[in-house]
Structure 1
Amino acid sequence: MNPGRARRPAPPPGLLVVDKPAGWTSHDVVGKARGLVGTRKVGHAGTLDPMATGVLVLGIERATKLLGHLALDTKTYLATIRLGVATTTDDAEGEELSAADAGGVTDAAIDAGVAALTGDISQVPSTVSAIKVDGRRAYERVRAGEEVELAARPVRVGRFDVVDRRREGAVLDLDVVVDCSSGTYVRALARDLGAGLGVGGHLTALRRTRVGPFTLAHARTVETLVGEAEGDAGRASLSLDLDAATDTAFPRRDVDAAGADDLAHGRPLPASGVPGTTAVFGPDGHVVGLVADSDGRARPVLVLAPA
């Protein structure tokens, strides 16, 4: 290293919420973010398929430890389902498996098919998913020419609303809004809706608008982040610093200096009576760590205070 050139300090810890562009993998976004914020310590939560756009949550520096504790178990998507064509991947990137005239599919039949796929359902994931089968990703096995059968799993689709319908010749495009649990595949909803209607179906567009408490309102495009990094600051700024991120994602508990010191050293606190994980803040307004009640005490889940 050039001794006359000062090393750039590490960025503060926090979350960077990115509006992922189409064609990028989640790993691509992490790699780009490392250069834009100036650290190798970047991780992501809630993987998005390359064809999908929208909310991708990245942890920066110490906030990477936070990612595994965030309640990201509910998500919202905007999607377009094309009825009349089934594909090998259940989306537009796959090869056509079958085609049928969807012109005769009625609105009532669509509504009934959607209703059957709403609520607590059993869903077979798409074979090109990242689910591991005997140690290898399902999509890797499919691309290697192997036959892959995945077991059905319980998922919850809290909302499955058709907001627009466009009939174009033999195909029918549906714009939908989906609220669902983690592990739900919107591609599989498209596949199963088309199969139930007897015409086949696949996904042509997918945009995630929310994951847990983080929405597009928190997100910025890669172009915006690049512009910030090329500006006077020399790096992209975070969407939420560590304090704001934990305050957004967890119930808040404020403690005095003695309580903050106890938690910073891994000692339990008096029980809070709040179910689940709570973020504890010291008298200086900064987060100290996460706790959860157990055996009558609020025990440390993660200490975030700097060493």
Structure 2
Amino acid sequence: MAAPGILLVDKPGGVTSHDVVARARRALGTRKIGHAGTLDPMATGLLVLGVEGATRLLTFIVGLDKTYEATIRLGASTDTDDADGQTVTQTDASSLAWAAIRSAVAPLTGRISQVPSTYSAIKVDGRRAYDLARAGQEVELAAREVTVSRFDVVAERRTGGFVDLDVVVECSSGTYIRSLARDLGAALGIGGHLTALRRTRIGPFSTVDAVEADAIADGLLLSPAAVAASVLGRLDVTGDEARDLRHGKRLAGAASRLAQDPTAAIDPDGVLVGIVGARGADVKSVMNMPEEASR
């Protein structure tokens, strides 16, 4: 059986997230591998994989804020809102002023209402939106509230009637960068789509520490205890308290010791006992970890 842990992988372009998971299963000799959020085939960058019992921690990782580096092409829109789709409109953007770009970016920053791309993995009546769209069906997705804490244009290039913007986006989970490209182009009246996308960060995890997809077997597995503590903070418990938590007992009056709720309970040997939360003044385990998946 493979050791439990969290593996950071730098996904290459042209393959699906599932392809990377399949590679990891072969390389590590286990079927029990999951991920904390997919990337489109065109995109590159950080995939967070959970191995064996550490897959339980993915639920606490998938909702973390993320950072992306992307290229937005202004002057053309596509049916998928990225370069993999068919061009729908094309307009000469060569005279587009920088001040207009800056003004159009500002309303797409902060707490915004965003309609996901039609070609997204969101389920509609049990089917993926992109499957319905590819089948020629009309797809209408509801707007959702997301937070874009940073939307910076770091470079601009003009060629062939297009304006290409290199951007850095920091955002909440569930934000579609393709939709930002689409909405920026729409606000400027010239269309826009994504031509490159790279995810560089998920919460405290970065591509700096990720292994290439063809070197997964040599990758360093982060321990469940270290990962849980970095994401949720830690509550150090005694051996007796760890035993009580594993047996479903509460720690009386221990809620004041929690830095946040939920948090990771770590025993004196550095083992992750489980994820705990406050129950009134007490602390109770909300997710126990199997002993073999805790270190």
Q: Distance in 1 between matches of 2:85 and 2:172?
A: 25
What is the percentage of aligned positions where both structures have the same residue?
A: 57
Give the structure with the higher percent helix.
Answer: 2
- Whether 1:51 aligns to 2:42 is yes
Look up the SS of the partner of 1:125 in the other structure.
Answer: coil
- Residue in 1 aligned with 2:118? 127
What runs of 5+ residues in structure 1 fail to find an aligned partner?
1-9, 230-235
How far residue 298 of structure 1 moved from its aligned partner, in angstroms, is 1.4
Q: Distance in 1 between matches of 2:261 and 2:88?
A: 46
- Residue in 1 aligned with 2:230? 248
How far residue 266 of structure 1 moved from its aligned partner, in angstroms, is 2.2
- Residue in 1 aligned with 2:181? 190
Q: Distance in 2 between matches of 1:265 and 1:73?
A: 30
- Give a deviation string over 1:257-307, Cα, whole Å, max 9, x none: 100101122222222343321111111121111101122211212111417
Q: Distance in 1 between matches of 2:49 and 2:225?
A: 15
- Give a deviation string over 1:206-252, Cα, whole Å, max 9, x none: 00000121111221111232xxx4xxxxxx34331222222222211
Give the aligned CA root-mean-square deviation in angstroms. 1.3
Q: Distance in 2 between matches of 1:70 and 1:276?
A: 15
Which one of the candidate residues 251, 254, 264 is aligned to 2:246? 264
Aligned residue type for 2:178 = R
1:106-255 correspondence runs (5 A): 106-225=97-216, 229=217, 236-255=218-237
CA contact (8 A) 1:124 1:153 kept: yes
Q: Distance in 1 between matches of 2:160 and 2:31?
A: 50
Q: Distance in 1 between matches of 2:78 and 2:122?
A: 19
- Residue in 1 aligned with 2:16? 25
What runs of 5+ residues in structure 2 fail to find an aligned partner?
none
How far residue 71 of structure 1 moved from its aligned partner, in angstroms, is 6.1
CA contact (8 A) 2:233 2:260 kept: no
Look up the SS of the partner of 2:195 in the other structure.
Answer: strand
- Give the TM-score of the pair, scaled to structure 2: 0.94
Q: How many residues align?
A: 289
Q: Distance in 1 between matches of 2:244 and 2:209?
A: 33
CA contact (8 A) 1:71 1:212 kept: no
CA contact (8 A) 2:7 2:50 kept: yes
Look up the SS of the partner of 1:240 in the other structure.
Answer: coil
